[in-house]
Amino acid sequence: MSRRFLRGFGAAALLLFLLASFTPAVDLLGSLVIPDRPAERAEAIVVLGAGGIAPGGGLTDSSLRATMEGVNLFHEGWAPLLVLSGGGGPLLRTEAETRAKFARQSGVPPAALVIAGPVRTTREEALEVRALLEPRGVRKILLVVDGPGAVRAMAVFERVGFEAVPAPWSESVTIDAAPEERLTLLRSLAMEAIARLYYRVMGYV
């Protein structure tokens, strides 16, 4: 590689870093891909996996916040069922089972809880939730999912037969966000773009 090319590449990388960190460019991009619509009444609230199990056996911060959002929606009467999903953890209890324990302690009746088996991907979650809810005749679900992943999650669940409504729980980044927040959002958006491309190629959406 020539020195001119390396200098140009370095300058472009620096410019991208400055734009992403100190301008609202990433905020505006995020507002375009993160659904911004109010929650709708549904037949079930589905909380997708979000962060898994912490090393100590409890929920990670992101998983706990998502679970709390689902519990709050249930108590507010948005749906009569609360479906908790999530993968395996370092101990015997899965993320979904740990979430269910928290939900019961938060006043959700055991009869209103549906606990999904261990899953690793959004596609597996959709198939597992369909197997659990289809016998109950549930078609319309309220998805509690991290903002950048909401569009893909809705498409995946709709592909397997649900009418999916988003309830993004991650906090939106505003135009006065700190550089660290903007860079975190940019990373999430980039990872989600790759995931959406993969899901499209595989025919999952």
Task: Find the mean pLDDT for residues 185-201.
Answer: 72
144 φ, ψ (degrees, to nearest 5): -95, 105
Rounded to whole angstroms, how far apart are CA atoms 22 and 177?
9
Higher pLDDT, 160 or 30: 160
Specify the pTM: 0.76
In this structure, of 75-89, 101-115, 188-202, the range with the lowest mean pLDDT score is: 188-202
Instruction: Tell me how many degrees the CA angle 127-58-55 measures, rounded to the nearest 5.
Output: 95
Q: Is residue 107 scored above 60 in pLDDT? A: yes
* Structure confidence at residue 173 as a pLDDT band (50, 70, 90): very low
For the domain made up of 44-166, give the CATH fold.
Rossmann fold (3.40.50)
- Tens of pLDDT, residues 126-159: 999 999 999 999 999 999 987 777 888 889 999 9
Higher pLDDT, 108 or 190: 108
Rounded to whole angstroms, how far apart are CA atoms 62 and 60?
6
- Tens of pLDDT, residues 15-41: 555 555 555 555 555 555 555 667 689
- pLDDT of amino acid 31: 54
Q: Is residue 14 scored above 80 in pLDDT? A: no
Region of 72 on the Ramachandran plot (φ > 0 left; ψ -120 to 50 alpha; else beta) = alpha
Q: How many CB atoms lie within 10 A of CB 10?
A: 10
Per-domain residue ranges of the chain:
3-34+173-202, 44-166
The set of residues, in sequence order, having a beta carbon less than 8 Å from that of 116 and lying 6+ positions away, is 83, 84, 85, 86, 96, 125, 128, 129, 132
